[in-house]
Amino acid sequence: MGLAMAPLAYADNDNDGEHGKSGKSNNGNKSWVFNFGALGTTTDALMQQIKILQEELAKLKADKKALSNDDSNDAARAALKVEIKETKSDIKDVRKDLKFLRSLSRGMSGDDVRDLQELLAQDPSLFSPEFITGFFGPRTEAALRLFQKKHGIDSIGIFGPKTQAKILSLFIGRELPFGIIKRLGLEISSTTPGQGFVTLCHKPAGASPQTLVIAIPALGAHLAHGDSVGVCAGGGTPTDTTAPTFSNIAATSITTAGATIQWNTNEGATSQVEYGTTTSYGATTTLNATLVTSHSVAITGLTNGTLYHFRVISKDAAGNSATSGDSTFTTGTPDTTAPIISGLNASSTSATAANVIWATNENASSKVWYGTTTPVTLASPTLNAFNSTLVTNHLLGLSGLTASTTYYYAIETTDAANNTATSSTQSFVQP
């Protein structure tokens, strides 16, 4: 809904016909009351009421003009003059009751945004009529900030209660902006095309009215075929025609053969990824039809050391689909480098036990081959101690040793990519 209007009363001393809810005015004449809904809500009933009112006003003026200047018509002319004046006064009273039904800020759209733009455009230094679209974008925000600054209101670019009170107080007593008049049907013209969306009651032939949300550029054609702005009689939820929006698109957990694609959407939506070595993609992951806002899709079977392009696809519950722009990642290259060994040392801890320690530059397993002969054979049946945990600081204990004996040993350490490093044969004397 846009601007709310109080009932508009029209005084008439012609008792022919019924145009609305009748009553008596103070001068004894019949008073016709036309209950307006909201500015921008062009239902059939509202349009008919406005047209009737315009016709009656035109009839009053025509009757007054048709009277001759004879003295005998003085009383009739005076009565018509009073009725026209009272009608104008009623219209002015309506303007005093104008109000917006919600605060407005950047990114919003609707007839109330268009009404705000119409009012701002009354001052050409603030806002140009060519930008009246019904969408609250950067230009509307800038114009509103200028208006707020000009009138001593905090310049925050949001149309709230203080700004509303000021702009409507300036509007009282002035002509309705042309765009609002057009939308109310006082002029036969479609709404100026622009950006954004508007709620509309679509009235297809032979079917029940349906509430839709359409792009503003299509509004003129809909109005020309009998549709009206606003929800259909009895309310109803507008059809969702807005696709999900994306954020935080990223490739994570990249390996030599795969990656995980993650992203967020502003509403629950499905998850799917197109990928390939060019922007033609060529491969698509299996659709995950679960509606979520945090998405994660794993891609496997990739070639190592290769640049991959990808884009994400999400569809909301209403069937609106969105596809992201292109993104890239490069798979890892195979690790073919063995760990580097440093700090190798062996020391006895008792007459029958000893510890072997060393360090590696990457996580790797730990193994010590040992015996009383040299060179040490790095295979069975040579004795060995082993720990498969991948670490950079290694310690293995040897037990069951013989006192006063020289022992020979060599270490073997293997990283996650199965690259193995071995040491030369070392020795220690068990005390």
Length of the chain: 431
Residues 226, 43: Cα–Cα separation, whole Å: 9
Identity of the amino acid at 267? E
State residue 310's pLDDT score. Answer: 97
Looking only at the bridges linking them, the beta strands covering 210-215 and 341-350 are unpaired
115 phi/psi in degrees, rounded to 5 = -60, -45
**Token output for 266:** 């502003």
Judge whether 246-330 and 341-430 match in fold: yes
CATH of domain 246-330: 2.60.40.10
The helix (run of H) or strand (run of E) holding residue 4 is strand 3-4
- Helix H, strand E, coil C: the string for 126-194 is CCCHHHCCCECCHHHHHHHHHHHHHCCCCCCCCECHHHHHHHHHHHCCCCCCHHHHHHCCCCCCCCCCC
Structure tokens at 285: 């992951």
Given this model, what pLDDT does residue 231 score?
72
Structure letter (DSSP) for residue 379: S
Q: How far apart are CA 356 and CA 341, in angstroms?
A: 13
The DSSP symbol for 375 reads S
> What are the average pLDDT values for consecutive 10-residue runs of the chain, which has 431 residues?
34 31 34 30 36 57 69 67 60 48 83 80 82 90 89 84 71 45 36 47 76 59 67 65 93 95 95 96 94 95 96 91 96 94 95 97 97 94 96 96 96 96 96 91
Instruction: Report, at the CATH architecture level, how domain 341-430 is classified.
Output: Sandwich (2.60)
- Domain residue ranges of the chain, discontinuous segments joined by +: 3-97, 190-239, 246-330, 341-430
